[in-house]
A = this chain, B = another copy of it.
Amino acid sequence: MASPVDFYFDFSSPYGYLGAELIEGVAERQNREIIWRPYLMGVLFKKLGTQPLVFDPTKGAYARRDIVRTAAYLDIPYITPDPFPVASIAACRAFYWLTDKDPALAKSFAITLMRGFYRENRNLSKPEVVVAAAVDVGIDQAEITAALKEAAVKERLRDEVNAVLDRGVFGSPYFIVDDETFWGTDRVEQLEKWLATGGW
């Protein structure tokens, strides 16, 4: 059995969104399982004393332009959300609650939520937007609304984020397969060749 690919991202990372749009095509062509692992880059920034790339005084303006240009280059619809960036805690909590029931459904939820944010400016930091995306993929509204308030669901996310940071993950999108690491939308091509050839 070929190892699955771990896919790390933040819901509030545009490059993470582009990665999410690309990675399941790779999975299908290379017949490889992808395990989606959203996390909170804000926790990482706090730990490192850094900030989101788009706020970087040197690279921020470039990054804002590069995101728009790269999305168009990849032929993936994208508008810059406003406000941006936003907190993705509710999105992550919903994702892990869902993936424990049905990983494929959790991916559909994640893509639905990100498309709402990056194509239609629906602010994914709002619990009602998260709930609506879950309802869109067939989840009961009362059930997901209650889940978001559960202590166990909050605890689940804390554990996940700690595990992600313990693994040394520092970007979005960020992929690991067999201890080989690929960081960035622009490394998805290399990742695909790695899966296709067995590496080099």
- A residues near B (Cβ < 8 Å) are 48, 58-59, 62, 65-66, 69-70, 72-73, 168, 170, 181, 183-184, 186-187, 190, 193, 200
Residue of B nearest to A70 (CB): B190
Would you call A183 and B69 a contact (CB within 8 A)?
no
| Further 8 A-B residue pairs, CB within 8 A, beyond A58-B168, A186-B186 | A58-B170, A59-B170, A62-B170, A62-B183, A66-B183, A69-B190, A73-B190, A73-B193
B-side contacts of A184, CB under 8 Å: 186
Could you list 20 examples of A-B contacts with CB < 8 Å?
A48-B58, A58-B168, A58-B170, A59-B170, A62-B170, A62-B181, A62-B183, A65-B181, A66-B183, A66-B187, A69-B190, A69-B200, A70-B190, A72-B200, A73-B190, A73-B193, A73-B200, A184-B186, A186-B186, A186-B187
Residue of B nearest to A48 (CB): B58
B-side contacts of A62, CB under 8 Å: 170, 181, 183
Residue of B nearest to A190 (CB): B73
- Bound together, the chains give a CA A68 to CA B69 distance in angstroms of 27
- Bound together, the chains give a CA A143 to CA B186 distance in angstroms of 44
B-side contacts of A69, CB under 8 Å: 190, 200
- Bound together, the chains give a CA A186 to CA B168 distance in angstroms of 23
B-side contacts of A65, CB under 8 Å: 181
- Bound together, the chains give a CA A181 to CA B68 distance in angstroms of 13
A53 → B minimal CB distance (Å): 12
A113 → B minimal CB distance (Å): 27
- Bound together, the chains give a CA A43 to CA B10 distance in angstroms of 33
Residue of B nearest to A181 (CB): B62
- Bound together, the chains give a CA A134 to CA B73 distance in angstroms of 40
B-side contacts of A187, CB under 8 Å: 66, 186
